A and B are shown apart, each in its own frame.
Chain A
Amino acid sequence: MVFENLSNKLQETLRKLKGKGKLTEKDVDAALREVRLALLEADVNFKVVKDFVAKVKERCLGKEVLESLTPGQQVIKIVNDELTRLMGESVAKLNQASSPPTIVMMVGLQGSGKTTSSAKLAHLLKKKNHTPLLVAADIYRPAAIKQLQVLGEQLDVPVFQMGEQDPASTAKAALELAKKNRHDYLIIDTAGRLHIDEELMNELGRMEKAVSPHEILLVVDAMTGQDAVNVAQSFRDKLGLTGVVLTKLDGDTRGGAALSVRAVTGCPVKFAGLGENTDAFEPFHPDRMSSRILGMGDVLTLIEKAQSSFDQKQAQEMERKLRTQQFTLDDFLEQLQQIKKMGPLNQIMEMMPGMGGLGKKLKGMSVDEQQFVRVEAIIKSMTKKERQEPVIINSSRRKRIAAGSGTKVQDVNNLLKQFDMMQKMMKQLGKMEKGKFKGKGKFPFM
């Protein structure tokens, strides 16, 4: 099964171990063979896999497992521990300059996402009230400077450029400007280059010398295969890398490159790129990544997402309405829109514990997003009065609503029925004591 993800695979293998009272070396070997294949299919470099499996095996055959009462669980724990250890344990922050500006240089292969990541980083810093300056130092790719300028304009972050002049002098001039205008961060977008292109690699070396950056971030496409190791090694040998940005993590790649790069460079992954929008950029949580690989869900990210997309006041208002049963179709619509803000549904589901195993069923989730659109259209085709008092919607109104929203009368009926059921549920919930209801009540849908 090519499409099963790593966590499913590991879970399956380890489940076989779970029931066992006692493990033999053969059992461990069988399980680790699956672990090895799963990691290889996830694009973890084969050398890294070899080391990893050897380490896990050594610990598995130690006393702690063989003599434990639940050896299966012990093995899971060891795999998880080692994975987390390899990935790094805590969030790595950006290095800070003792006196501003902090200089960040973005390097990497062509198409890994340097320009986009530079803009996203600037956006993230700006949101935290910093004053970043972007530097366009990609003088080779057609329209690369223009791309950064357009992004800078969108984000209202200034972009410094000197056309096709030597990137090292551009960087130097940018630094002068940053000092003069009191920018506290300088983010340098460099041209994509092959790690074996000596001339261009030397150019990076010259830039490093010219401005002595506090951070040199290697931007790596999460979909990279076995070659990730060679790339990371060459960049590490040539430059003082301080961290990694993992991009395109919103794809369905298993992201084994993250493990490989981390193992080779020893540098922490500091940020993850998670989408096309400039705010789809997050500090990378290595512990969450490995627990996600193991199918334990990524509850923390989910909660953070929910918190940032849900307006606190709105949520409280909603809670009050629910309790007093004044929940109308308008509120229903508002809730739908808030959930949509949290991102694609399947992405949200993936983060929920226990959902990882439902991988195949989740393939159908995209249909549900269509459903969202339809429900929105139906409610928007209702009059204000109808939304407040759905009872008045008779059959001729239903026909009109169906026609207005481009749906069938059945769809309208279904929605009204669902809403009715929800209201009944709310009534019951409302009867429950207030204290119990708090907290969870903020998102009745979840």
Chain B
Amino acid sequence: MGFFSRIKEGLKKTRTGIMGRMDGLFARNMFDDQFYEELEEILISADIGVETTLELVENLRQKVKETKAKEGDQVVTLLKELILDIIGTEIYGLAEVEEKPAVILVLGVNGVGKTTTIGKLAARYQREKKKVILAAGDTFRAAACEQLEIWADRAGCEMIKHQGGADPSAVLFDAISAAKARGVDAVLCDTAGRLHNKTNLMNELKKVHRVVEKAMPGAPHEVLLVLDATTGQNALAQAKVFNEAAPLTGVVLTKLDGTAKGGIVIAVARALKVPVKFIGVGEKSDDLQPFDPREYVDGLFTQD
């Protein structure tokens, strides 16, 4: 299966989920209060959130008035543009750095798929004929290290680990040192899942970030927050607090192969201006794709 069809595969459910209803709604060509109310419901059911939804709907009303749009198609285009205004249109790839290695820090709450994302990223680097080292920074959860090790074997790359319960900062420091010595292209740093309201764990993360900065000037080059597409409004709180502890450069949206729509990334982009860089659409190592905002939004609004 090609990359594009894979995204489509992932997004198809998004489409048939909300947008089956959406098509019907726009096809009516009636843009009255009833229409906007139903649109509101549809957007909220995609986890876009009350505040962002209300703003989107209000702006759409304005736009429809200004442009005197009467056809369903026109209104859909207006809505798409409004969403793209928020999430941007750029497509991102793997981090490029002048001086090797690129240090990539992967963060998130428990169970969103950090380790899996790292495994898939490693496979991606490998496919591009680049050398990576994985750093087993989750020293807390039982068997997290073994899980990462299996991914490292699959991608055929090296992994740096300490014993369970070790200081994650030390693991990452060692990994970065090793990466510099061996001239690899990137270090992918796993971290333990942590809920953002646990002050001590967020402080630990700040320390991790500081130590990485010390280990290599300019690092981390990429700080990716992994968000689970099934998560609701709490993802916004997660993004805000993680961003304070370690300024984010991007979001990875995982589990988009289910029925969840992942609309919360629109709210996150609106609040923090942090772009979505990758999406996870399955359990295989090549199921991590660059996020294409246009395709995402198109996917939301076109019929199959």
Which residues on A are within 8 Å of B, measured CB to CB? 2-3, 37, 40-43, 45-46, 109-113, 140-144, 146-151, 154, 194-196, 221, 223-228, 230-231, 248, 250-254, 256-257, 276, 344, 346, 366, 369
Contact = CB atoms under 8 A, between A and B. Distances in A.
B41 A46 contact: yes
B150 interface: yes
Pick the most buried of B13, B200, B236, B258: most chain A CB atoms within 10 A of its CB: B258
A149 B142 CA distance: 9
Contact of A41 (B49, B195, B231, B261): B49
Interface string B215-231: 00000000000001111
B259 A196 contact: yes
Pick the most buried of B51, B200, B229, B233: most chain A CB atoms within 10 A of its CB: B233
A151 B111 contact: no
A110 B255 contact: yes
Contacts of A366: 199
A231 B258 CA distance: 9
A224 B50 contact: no
Nearest to A151: B142
Range for the number of chain B residues in contact with chain A: 35 or more
Interface of B is mostly: loop
A274 to B, nearest CB: 11
Given A37-B50, A40-B44, A225-B233, A111 B112 contact: yes
A143 B234 contact: no
Given A231-B230, A257-B232, A147 B143 contact: yes
Contact of B47 (A42, A194, A226): A226
A252 B237 contact: yes
Contacts of B13: 196
Given A147-B143, A223-B231, A251-B196, A194 B258 contact: yes
A276 B197 contact: no
B143 A227 contact: no
A227 B258 contact: yes
Contacts of A3: 237
A45 B228 CA distance: 17
A226 B45 contact: yes
Contacts of A110: 111, 113, 255
Contact of A109 (B49, B149, B258): B258
Interface in B17-63: 41, 44-47, 49-51
A224 B230 CA distance: 6
Contact of B146 (A140, A146, A154): A146
A366 B203 CA distance: 11
Interface in B102-139: 109-113, 119
A158 to B, nearest CB: 16
B257 A194 contact: yes
Contacts of B46: 226
Interface in B191-222: 195-200
Chain A to chain B: the 8 pairs with minimum beta-carbon distance, closest first: A225-B232, A111-B111, A43-B232, A142-B150, A147-B143, A150-B142, A143-B146, A143-B147
Contacts of A254: 233-234
Contact of A225 (B47, B112, B198): B47
Contacts of A224: 230-232
Contacts of B143: 143-144, 146-147, 149-150
A142 B122 CA distance: 15
Contact of B231 (A140, A144, A150, A225): A225
Pick the most buried of B113, B147, B234: most chain A CB atoms within 10 A of its CB: B234
Nearest to A251: B195
Contacts of B232: 43, 223-226, 228, 253, 256-257
B45 A43 contact: no
B164 to A, nearest CB: 8
B264 interface: yes
11 contacts: A43-B234, A111-B111, A143-B149, A146-B147, A148-B142, A225-B231, A226-B232, A230-B260, A231-B230, A251-B196, A252-B195
Contacts of A112: 111
Contacts of A150: 142-143
Nearest to B201: A276
A196 B233 contact: no
A41 to B, nearest CB: 5
B296 interface: no
A196 B50 CA distance: 27
A198 B164 CA distance: 37
Contacts of B110: 111, 113, 248, 276
A404 to B, nearest CB: 23
Contacts of B257: 194
A148 to B, nearest CB: 8
B141 interface: yes
A43 B233 contact: yes
A42 B237 CA distance: 12
B150 A143 contact: yes
A142 B50 contact: no
A123 to B, nearest CB: 13
Interface string B223-258: 000001111111111000000000000000001011
Nearest to A227: B260
A227 B230 contact: yes
A90 B171 CA distance: 47
Nearest to B13: A196
A276 B140 contact: yes
Given A111-B228, A143-B143, A251 B44 contact: no
